[in-house]
Structure 1
Amino acid sequence: MALSRRRSYSSSPAALVVAVLIVFLAAAAALVGADDPYRYFTWTVTYGPISPLGTTQQGILINGQFPGPRIDCVTNDNLIVNVINNLDEPFLITWNGIKQRKNSWQDGVAGTNCPIPPGGNYTYKFQSKDQIGTFTYFPSLAMHRAAGGFGAFNVYQRPAIPVPYPLPAGDFTLLVGDWYKAGHKQLRQTLDAGGALPLPDGLLINGMQSATFVGDLGKTYLFRVSNVGLKTSINVGIQNHTLKLAEVEGTHPVQNAYDALDVHAGQSVAFLVVLDQPPHDYAVVVSTRFSPAANLTTTATLHYTGATSRAPGPLPAGPPAGSDWSMNQARSFRWNLTASAARPNPQGSFHYGAINTSRTLVLASSSPVIAGRRRCAVNGVSFVTPDTPLKLADNFNIANVIAWDSVPVRPDGGGAARAGTPVVRLNLHEFVEIVFQNTENELQSWHLDGYDFWPVGYGNGQWTESQRQTYNLVDAQSRHTVQVYPNGWSAILVSLDNQGMWNLRSAIWDRQYLGQQLYLRVWTAQQSFSNEYSIPTNAILCGRAVGLPH
């Protein structure tokens, strides 16, 4: 039975324990064999009626489900996912946080893959290599994710690799995010006409306005929270309970305790909760942050087995407005240097702070008007998707598709903003500093495909080289998506050890759609399968690559 076909976003504790045990037993059996196990999925993508906010609208379903099926797998499993597109327009899925080691061919974004045409299919083939943790998948083209097509992707550890906490009694997945009653085509038309997205109409938890999670008094449960919304930051807290941070986007943090946690667009966290209160129903409160849509809130229920009444007392009030509280929390996230990762070696065995950087990229966001319409840009260049994916153009040496190194590596402050297809060329095994400069009043969120990185610094105002003195060069929390506070900056360090063509983009989806993205081409002249796999035999060819031999 394919594990991903069990919806079970909320279930009984016994069922959840059985589900986790199945995963671990499957992993143990896999260790006996010579190869890592394979898991096969067939997903049919269709339109269908959904009513997440009480009124019926057209959603994007996978196998008839909204949200889509959850993938449960084990470190190093091979995933074979055949996606059949029964929509009326092209479609792609990207795997948010799954590194695609040596295999950007499976990244599922417009710069690396031709879209799956209506009535067509594509089979993704990739491995959850050296990863454990909480991830997601979602549609990467147009504004499809505003209609659904997203789901949870949980990677469990092999039995030989311990996690730094006892096995919880249950494991709950929460896909949270903003939601619009307008359809994805209507939202796209608004952006294409130069307008801005309206305020969201509500918040969802697992595709609903409410959910129930059931647990037993005295036991500990793991909550996996992913922000799958289009743009709005959220805060999550549980009435009268403490959240002990247990995992951040695939790595283990120091297990600090929090009353509530901010989770920005594209981010995931997991925390442990001990059911140590009198047996009542307690509120799981999700509210918006850093948005004009202030005070949007939805509430789920943490139900103690046998409880018959609501807990007395007020609901969590949420954190104060402004950046300071959230920025201090972000700085408090620390990498657990003694915990194993997806391999036996400790996470802290890689001393990132002792490595000299080879170059610095300072990337400033902006919202210029180009050809009479509002766009979003990086250092004055707004990305436009070409008819031929950049990865194919590079593979087949197709000219006049890629504008190599055409985006300034630092804001130059001069010249009119322009459209382009910028790709920054970098060498395999470079160690790079990237500074994200937010020039606007709204919070930004940046994601890098194919990698984890270390967010070593956050600050207000304009970044300068003197800010390096404030960097955390010892135990910054590794992750794949970093927030940049309004009119502030965030700095990351990244080891470029994964060859390929990788998307560096805004995780705020209207900004990504309007051009706040670029690509990094990580490359070496020493071509080898140990560095990167060759083009798949089933790759879809489009644009100027049509008819070329694989």
Structure 2
Amino acid sequence: MKMPLKSAAVLFTATCAVLFAAIAKAEDPYLFFNWNVTYGTIYPLGVPQQGILINGQFPGPDIHSVTNNNLVINVFNSLTEPFLLSWSGIQNRRNSYVDGVYGTTCPIPPGKNYTYILQVKDQIGSFYYFPSLAFHKAAGGFGGFRILSRSVIPVPFAEPAGDFTVLIGDWYSKNHTVLKRILDGGHKLPFPDGILINGRGPNGTSLTFEQGKTYRLRISNVGLQHSLNFRIQGHNLKLVEVEGTHTLQNTYSSIDVHVGQSMSVLVTADQPPQDYFIVVNTRFTSPIITTTGFLRYANSNRRASGPIPGGPTIQVDWSLNQARSIRTNLTASGPRPNPQGSYHYGMINTTRTIRLASSAGRVNGKQRYAVNSVSFVPADTPLKLADFFNIPGVYRVNSIPSAPTGGGIYLDTSVLQADYRAFIEIVFENNEDIIQSWHLDGYAFFVVGMDGGQWTPASRNGYNLRDAVFRSTTQVYPKSWTAIYVALDNVGMWHLRTEFWARQYLGQQFYLRVYTSSTSLRDEFPIPKNALLCGRASGHHTRPL
């Protein structure tokens, strides 16, 4: 018998109260969230469509936390289909079971709930969460996720007068179910209908500043496929943080934010008191889609006027040079009191190189996308559960090659294995005419190089081995490559994917199995006792934490 939502919420609150009383003396605080996921009618581009709301909100509520906080997020799925939330950039140390993607976590059935237990261990910065199944991301269900530094850790800039989440992304006026049918039918998505700023279309969003004060904007591109440029009329943007890394504080008139990326800029209200345009437009597209919002001065009585400020051209050189200028601030502390740049990654020899090339094509008459010629198909059981319960036949280790083959696209449940504590190089090779964006769950990595043309071992001569930015999402420009260094210090099954969501949905993804034979809790947490079980894992029993 299904418990009514209200009764379940009361039970959850009581349980949390008991749990909180038991752990109140623990070193790291616990934060509790109770979310109800529903459908609702939204009008982001002025026409009604079905959206996904969290506690009635679109976008969903922000998560505000502090380094090492433990987060208990109870999610009630009031949709008519299974649902999962994932946490972009949150590393889930030693615990890929709660990563919130189908390769590691069973979906929450309709009318049921699941409680995610996360710790933002040794992290700071700006991130977001999003739904990972069934093209739900095209309907909403996303929100900001910030991790503040502990009070004893210095931050390399004065405390701002305000701190705003700014979620930007391309958007379709069609329901996500229609878009999913297009993809399931073997076709590409059409061009998007607009761009949203915090869930609103043109002129629908405003931020209010007081003259003379400085504010922090945490900008995330939560869209489906397009890089975006962000700028504010008459104001400079001082970049201070990218996905948990304090950066050199370069000042830009506008900044590119590629799909899946997050960053923080400081903006000072140093202009005459009036309203100013906030402008966001697509990059490297024809036509260009533009949307606007407003920066309002608290003492303003004048509307924004004049032409909206122009952005960079369609050429990639400007964006590439800006990307190269984003580097780690070696004098700043990270989540711990030692300088975040004290990890001399450039002095460590890599033990392995993995080269990844994307491709597009048709398989059995339908559009598919691939990595190293393999187009991922989900198994009937989450891969991490198959590992834990030793269920054979769910996937094969190294079912994707570690270098491009040049062959045609084929289907498989692709898993690449790598050794725990290895220090590896991954090269993303883009032989297509579009910009791409890649993300690795469970990790941040050093973006050591990017350039046009074909990567060769000689390309390493141009790597930044001193202060490369440390992040979890990186872009790869058309006919170009990007190289990253990764310390594989997080055991688990981790999702490596394109952030272009239609491509991800149609196969441009795989799982990196970071493996050790050790069963020590120092290396990996056991399966959570509340883990949902599905597929061939149904009927098994988890052991308690």
TM-score bin, normalised by smaller chain: over 0.9
SS in 2 for 1:437: strand
In the alignment, is the contact (CA less than 8 A) between 1:152 and 1:175 conserved in 2? yes
Provide the residue aligned with 1:282 in structure 2.
Answer: 276
Q: In structure 1, how many angstroms separate the alpha carbons of the residues matched to 2:135 and 2:78?
A: 17
Provide the residue aligned with 1:25 in structure 2.
Answer: none
Provide the residue aligned with 2:541 in structure 1.
Answer: 549
Provide the residue aligned with 1:387 in structure 2.
Answer: 380
2:341 aligned with 1:348, yes or no? yes
1:513 to 502, 505, 528: 505
Tell me which amino acid in the other structure corresponds to 2:278: V
Deviation, structure 1 residue 216: 1.3
SS in 2 for 1:310: coil
Identity rate, percent: 59
Spell out, residue by residue over 1:390-423, the C-alpha distance to the aligned partner (whole angstroms, 9 max, x if none): 0001111111111210211111223x32101111
Provide the residue aligned with 1:468 in structure 2.
Answer: 460
Q: In structure 1, how many angstroms separate the alpha carbons of the residues matched to 2:400 and 2:388?
A: 21
Provide the residue aligned with 2:350 in structure 1.
Answer: 357
2:516 aligned with 1:524, yes or no? yes
Provide the residue aligned with 1:423 in structure 2.
Answer: 415
Spell out, residue by residue over 1:185-222, the C-alpha distance to the aligned partner (whole angstroms, 9 max, x if none): 11111011111111111110110122111111111111
In the alignment, is the contact (CA less than 8 A) between 2:36 and 2:76 conserved in 1? yes
SS in 1 for 2:433: coil
Given the two structures, how large is their TM-score scaled by the length of structure 2? 0.93
Provide the residue aligned with 1:161 in structure 2.
Answer: 153
2:227 to 216, 228, 233: 233
Provide the residue aligned with 1:244 in structure 2.
Answer: 238
Provide the residue aligned with 2:529 in structure 1.
Answer: 537
Alignment gaps of 5+ in structure 1: 1-31
Tell me which amino acid in the other structure corresponds to 1:388: T
2:445 aligned with 1:453, yes or no? yes
Deviation, structure 1 residue 451: 0.5
Q: Could you say if the C-alpha distance between residues 371 and 311 of structure 1 is closer, same or farther in structure 2, counting changes exceeding 3 Å? A: closer
SS in 1 for 2:324: helix
Q: In structure 2, how many angstroms separate the alpha carbons of the residues matched to 1:456 and 1:270?
A: 21
1:310 to 296, 303, 310: 303
In the alignment, is the contact (CA less than 8 A) between 1:291 and 1:442 conserved in 2? no
Deviation, structure 1 residue 311: 5.0
Tell me which amino acid in the other structure corresponds to 1:409: S
Provide the residue aligned with 2:38 in structure 1.
Answer: 46
Q: In structure 2, how many angstroms separate the alpha carbons of the residues matched to 1:428 and 1:443?
A: 31
In the alignment, is the contact (CA less than 8 A) between 2:229 and 2:280 conserved in 1? yes
2:89 aligned with 1:97, yes or no? yes
Q: In structure 2, how many angstroms separate the alpha carbons of the residues matched to 1:201 and 1:368?
A: 25
Provide the residue aligned with 1:18 in structure 2.
Answer: none
Tell me which amino acid in the other structure corresponds to 2:38: T
Spell out, residue by residue over 1:233-283, the C-alpha distance to the aligned partner (whole angstroms, 9 max, x if none): 100011111110011011100000000000010000110111111111111
Provide the residue aligned with 1:16 in structure 2.
Answer: none
Q: In structure 2, how many angstroms separate the alpha carbons of the residues matched to 1:527 and 1:336?
A: 37
Q: In structure 2, how many angstroms separate the alpha carbons of the residues matched to 1:40 and 1:312?
A: 44
Tell me which amino acid in the other structure corresponds to 2:215: Y
2:53 aligned with 1:61, yes or no? yes
2:260 to 244, 261, 266: 266
In the alignment, is the contact (CA less than 8 A) between 2:294 and 2:304 conserved in 1? no
Provide the residue aligned with 1:323 in structure 2.
Answer: 316
Deviation, structure 1 residue 35: 2.2
Q: In structure 1, how many angstroms separate the alpha carbons of the residues matched to 2:412 and 2:161?
A: 51
In the alignment, is the contact (CA less than 8 A) between 1:363 and 1:378 conserved in 2? yes
Aligned residues: 518
Q: In structure 2, how many angstroms separate the alpha carbons of the residues matched to 1:328 and 1:428?
A: 34
Provide the residue aligned with 1:296 in structure 2.
Answer: 289
* Structure 2 counterparts to residues 12-161 of structure 1, below 5 A: 33-161=25-153
* Structure 2 counterparts to residues 432-451 of structure 1, below 5 A: 432-451=424-443
Deviation, structure 1 residue 313: 4.4
In the alignment, is the contact (CA less than 8 A) between 2:445 and 2:487 conserved in 1? yes
Moved over 6 A (4+): none
Provide the residue aligned with 1:17 in structure 2.
Answer: none
Spell out, residue by residue over 1:469-500, the C-alpha distance to the aligned partner (whole angstroms, 9 max, x if none): 11111101111000011121111111111111
In the alignment, is the contact (CA less than 8 A) between 1:42 and 1:83 conserved in 2? yes
2:475 to 471, 483, 490: 483
Deviation, structure 1 residue 549: 1.8
Provide the residue aligned with 1:399 in structure 2.
Answer: 392
Provide the residue aligned with 2:185 in structure 1.
Answer: 193
Q: In structure 2, how many angstroms separate the alpha carbons of the residues matched to 1:283 and 1:100?
A: 38
Given the two structures, how large is their TM-score scaled by the length of structure 1? 0.93
Q: In structure 2, how many angstroms separate the alpha carbons of the residues matched to 1:150 and 1:312?
A: 32
Provide the residue aligned with 1:12 in structure 2.
Answer: none
Spell out, residue by residue over 1:487-523, the C-alpha distance to the aligned partner (whole angstroms, 9 max, x if none): 2111111111111110000011001000000111112
Q: In structure 2, how many angstroms separate the alpha carbons of the residues matched to 1:137 and 1:155?
A: 13
Q: In structure 2, how many angstroms separate the alpha carbons of the residues matched to 1:409 and 1:458?
A: 19
Tell me which amino acid in the other structure corresponds to 2:299: G
Q: Could you say if the C-alpha distance between residues 218 and 33 of structure 1 is closer, same or farther in structure 2, counting changes exceeding 3 Å? A: farther
Q: In structure 2, how many angstroms separate the alpha carbons of the residues matched to 1:549 and 1:179?
A: 42
SS in 1 for 2:104: coil
Q: In structure 2, how many angstroms separate the alpha carbons of the residues matched to 1:115 and 1:189?
A: 20
Provide the residue aligned with 2:15 in structure 1.
Answer: none
In the alignment, is the contact (CA less than 8 A) between 1:78 and 1:126 conserved in 2? yes
Q: In structure 2, how many angstroms separate the alpha carbons of the residues matched to 1:34 and 1:533?
A: 19
Q: In structure 1, how many angstroms separate the alpha carbons of the residues matched to 2:49 and 2:331?
A: 49
Q: In structure 1, how many angstroms separate the alpha carbons of the residues matched to 2:457 and 2:192?
A: 38
Q: In structure 2, how many angstroms separate the alpha carbons of the residues matched to 1:467 and 1:226?
A: 30
Q: In structure 2, how many angstroms separate the alpha carbons of the residues matched to 1:166 and 1:501?
A: 39
Q: What do you get for the CA RMSD once the two structures are aligned?
A: 1.3
Spell out, residue by residue over 1:519-548, the C-alpha distance to the aligned partner (whole angstroms, 9 max, x if none): 111121222111110001111111111111
Deviation, structure 1 residue 291: 2.5
SS in 1 for 2:335: coil
